[in-house]
A and B are shown apart, each in its own frame.
Chain A
């Protein structure tokens, strides 16, 4: 059984039809990278997977449970889906440790010692054991994003969603975050990653999905989709991303 199964997903904002019938699955342990031009609906797709956006049509099935069903216990489903945002969205009024314990305590009802231990273990995993008592504002962007990853991991999710996790970072800080994500993938975490980091997608992804204008244009192993794409739209996009100075012949 697929961990996530998306069937005929449609999402509109007013008259803007953003997702136009998306079908795809993520298997247990798989790392899927979603690439595509800005505005093509990648973030919207990701946000539909944990229902931060409500699709108008279609199903999102997580571990066999249709979370678009109004009877589904959505908060319980979301506990299994960690999400990492482009803008980190750490809780600025809480320390790094508290960022990683607040949901464990209040949602999972873990005791203070357990929550603490798990948070520390995950902060160590992202290489931030020494920042436990800091506040988000005292950290660099790269450190904040790693805390955000540790915060999501502390809920023991079955799936991690990443929405352009390195796009808001200074270039020299991108590497640290990608290293953490690479390690996570090696540990067997199921990951759905929206990214513009082609090198990362090529190296880490089991499958690459290319989206354009609200549909999946092409998907497959990174060597195929990034290496030798069959669709013209994919080729055009990759030319722009891989060689920004390239001028399209008109």
Chain B
């Protein structure tokens, strides 16, 4: 123990050549140099003409629109919105079950949540695509919305349940006590007092769940919906195959960003607001 201060002073004396600030400056210069080299290599080595014609071919951008990318965008939004509603309702129910006094409700909710959170969403979608084979004659109403909303909603509710449960538990205990002391039965106190506050608390993480859901809606093509039910990914993939060109996929990618980036900004705003009011 007593020798360590001496070692410390020795090393600082030996390294007197460059001060820490000079060293940081040198390191920054090296990083810029590396960047410049990489950019130059990219500019001269890459075949920009080919890249442009594969990813951003103007006539294909145009025909992606005329072939109905906007319709696919609307489908993505419809699939996501319906699944979000189901996820919200199912997630709230599961959260309440998980907080229930009745053991079996808690176990069922826990099993459901752990099962569907542990599973890749695509497995659930494959299972749904095989349902008509396994149960001949079985139909889910509102084709294709019914099956899509159900598949996405089942996965979403497992994720949202945990978020909502945390929100409910974040509402101070005094709120329930105040409500109960006014004569409200437990269910009424939950609906009128706890849940409205819980949802306010979980608005930012729920927005993030919504973003995940937008992206997960791309798995819908696994269920095997008909062409007029294509959302962005199914539509883009189909068109890219037809053209043997990636431009439609790129356009669809931008469409996703059109939805997810504003939602991301919204989520961060809400987070900042929650942080301020705490």
A residues touching B (Cβ–Cβ < 8 Å)?
A: 50, 52, 75-76, 78-79, 81-83, 85, 87, 89-93, 102-103, 106-108, 137, 148, 151-152, 155
Which of B177, B193, B196, B277 lies in contact with A52, CB distance below 8 A? B177
> With an 8 A cutoff between CB atoms, is B185 at the interface?
yes
- Any chain A CB within 8 A of the CB of B139? no
Q: A91-B193, A93-B197, A106-B192 are in contact. Are A76 and B183 (CB under 8 A)?
A: yes
In the assembled complex, the Cα of A242 lies from the Cα of B188 at a distance in Å of: 44
Distance A102 CA – B183 CA, assembled complex (angstroms): 11
* A82–B178 alpha-carbon span in the complex (Å): 10
Which residues on A sit within 8 Å (CB–CB) of B182? Answer: 78-79, 102-103, 107, 151-152, 155
Q: How many residues of B contact A (CB 8 A)?
A: 19
Complex alpha-carbon distance, A78 and B180, angstroms: 8
- Assess whether B183 is in contact with A93, with CB atoms less than 8 Å apart: no
| B101 adjacent to chain A (CB < 8 Å) | no
**B200 on the interface (CB 8 Å rule)?**
yes
Closest to A105 in B: B192
Alpha-carbon distance A52/B200, docked complex (angstroms): 26
Chain A residue at minimal CB-CB distance from B173: A89
Q: Do B184 and A89 have beta carbons less than 8 Å apart?
A: no
**Given contact pairs A52-B180, A89-B175, A75 touches B193 in the complex (Cβ within 8 A):** no
Contact with A along B156-194 (1 / 0, CB 8 A): 000000000000000010110111111111001000110
Q: Report which residue of B172, B177, B178 has the largest number of chain A beta carbons within 10 angstroms of its beta carbon.
A: B178
Chain B residues, CB < 8 A from A148: 178
Interface-central residue, A78, A108, A137, by most chain B CB under 10 Å: A78
Known: A52-B180, A103-B184, A106-B184. A89 touches B174 (CB 8 A): yes
Cβ–Cβ contact B184 & A75, under 8 A: yes
How far, in Å, is A60 (CB) from chain B's closest CB? Answer: 14
**A-B pairs with beta carbons under 8 Å apart, 27 shown:** A52-B181, A75-B180, A75-B183, A75-B185, A76-B183, A78-B180, A82-B181, A83-B177, A83-B178, A83-B181, A85-B174, A85-B177, A85-B178, A89-B174, A89-B175, A90-B178, A91-B175, A91-B197, A93-B200, A102-B182, A102-B193, A103-B179, A103-B183, A107-B182, A148-B178, A152-B182, A155-B182
